[in-house]
Structure 1
Amino acid sequence: MARLRIWDLPTRLFHWLLVLAVVGLVITGNLGGEWMTLHFRLGYAVLAFLLFRLAWGFVGGHWSRFAQFIYSPLTLVSYLRGQSRPEHELGHSPTAALSVFALLLVLCLQVVSGLLSDDEIAFTGPLSRFAPSDWVSLATAYHAEWGKLVLIGLVVLHLLAIGYYKWVKKTPLVAAMITGDKTTTLLQPASADGFAHRILALVLAIGCVGIAAFIASL
């Protein structure tokens, strides 16, 4: 048995910061009023996080790259039938990969719809003035109603899956996302997580924050 670095530090920071931001968005969005100023700021933060994760999916640590958890339909079916490969339990399994991509997609839709929203009272997304009025109306309705419910539903399913892995499969997913490591007998590559790797992540993060700030200033 040996400890293997699965989740590099940038991936772990992204994960927990995104969790805090999404919780804050749901709370401030429901409170409304003066809390909407913070809601907008958290939305721009999530935009930066998502831009970073999309880039990190190509240059990040081995197990954080999209290429490592894009599975074929045949692999997914085999996994659901109990015919999984041992390495599936190191990074994202086929079902966990579906959850990750679904959350990223819904979060992207929620952020874009927020940027296009206009409540016609006090708060207007920075991109709303560039879109047709019917697009703005649709984005506003989606962001405040359907999109929020879909996002909350996916988060609940994600938490239930974590509970299933912890209490049924005896796999502590949360611990690995905190320490970055898993104990295994498999000979698999570790995720790069050295100084140069983290500097690359910092440069990417700064660029993503800059893009989000530019959009916010429109």
Structure 2
Amino acid sequence: MIKKKYPWSKVAWQNWEAMLRRASTYKPRLYHCIVRWKAPKEGMTKCNTDGASQGNPGSSAYGFCLRNSHGDLIYAAAENIGITTSVEAELRAILEAIKYCVAKKVEKLIVESDSLLMVKIIKEVWKVPWELADYFDELKREMTKIEVTDYLANLAINAAEKKTFRSFEQLPSMGRKIVNMGKEQIPVLRVRTKRIIQRHA
């Protein structure tokens, strides 16, 4: 149980008392970085994507939003995709965002994901998991139709229907707050128990 909850622990557990004492006093090391959304250049659109899974695998959702060079919301969507992994949710977020942009004839797009894994897979630095090969092949086909320059996921996890937002006013309060913070270049403090690679969001 301890190894499952704290797989990184190198402590050799000798008895229950030592194990309970160690678990009750455990404090994870926290890493933080400042994240600031950067607006795209004039005439370009920026798409931020996210995917989430409660349990991994578990109930999952993806989300994406499009913003212009002024930081104004163009479109956003979020959808529950059932029981799957966070990796699939991240990939589906990018795929659905690209498909929407192709359909709406968005000419120049910058795609940003908070998933280093997805970035490496798309750039073909890392191999795509075999179970996601079909989604990845579809993504590559869609990306040939558009010039890709190189929050919403958790919102939909407990909702069965797809949610779309075509104006700033339609966003929930947290979504409006995030968009406004990006426009005003207000940095966000991101804290995790794993080391964070500093980059723009």
TM-score bucket of the superposed structures, by smaller chain: under 0.3
Instruction: Return the structure number with greater helix share.
Output: 1
The alignment's TM-score, normalised by the length of structure 1, stands at 0.24
